[in-house]
């Protein structure tokens, strides 16, 4: 794994630019080291986080909006204040039902998010 170092101690959200990652989807990396990463992901209504899997553990908090979340064979509708956990290598994805933000925590760092 490439060493991406560590983010600075304080990150000011308004100073971090959004990166467009798909139709109606953008993200901000809010902090990281080699073992942990925090990411805000903004979805417009109808935005789709396509089904995918990765070797990282993931915990996601629904900050705002509403999402249909698929993890493995289970589908749930989640709203602000809810969260979900995804084990490594489990197929998962979301469909945004109402514009909102997901806060993702990954362990280890998502290297693919760092390479532009």
pLDDT tens, position by position, 28-60 = 999 999 899 999 999 999 999 999 999 999 999
pLDDT score, position 114: 81
Full-model pTM: 0.91
pLDDT score, position 1: 43
Which portions of the chain are predicted below pLDDT 70? 1-5, 116
Q: How many CA atoms lie within 13 A of 1 on its CB side?
A: 13
pLDDT score, position 5: 67
Q: Residue 11, exposed/middle/buried by CB under 10 A (0-12, 13-18, 19+)?
A: middle
Within 8 A by CB and 6+ apart from 29, the residues are 7, 16, 37, 38, 39, 113, 114
Neighbouring CB atoms inside 10 A of 51's CB total: 11
pLDDT score, position 98: 98
pLDDT score, position 116: 61
Structure tokens at 45: 């209504």
CA 4, distance to chain mean position in Å, is 18
**CB of 106 within 8 A of CB of 58?**
yes
């Amino acid at each position: 794994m490439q060493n991406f170092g560590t983010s600075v101690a304080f990150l000011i959200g308004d100073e971090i630019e959004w990166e467009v990652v798909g139709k109606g989807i953008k993200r901000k990396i809010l902090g990281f080291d080699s073992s942990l990463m925090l990411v805000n992901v903004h979805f417009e209504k109808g935005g789709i986080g396509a089904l995918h899997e990765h070797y990282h553990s993931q915990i996601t908090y629904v900050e705002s909006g509403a999402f249909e979340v698929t993890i493995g064979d289970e589908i749930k509708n989640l709203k602000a204040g809810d969260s979900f956990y995804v084990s490594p290598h489990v197929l998962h994805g979301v469909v945004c039902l109402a514009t909102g933000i997901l806060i993702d925590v990954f362990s280890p760092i998502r290297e693919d998010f760092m390479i532009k």
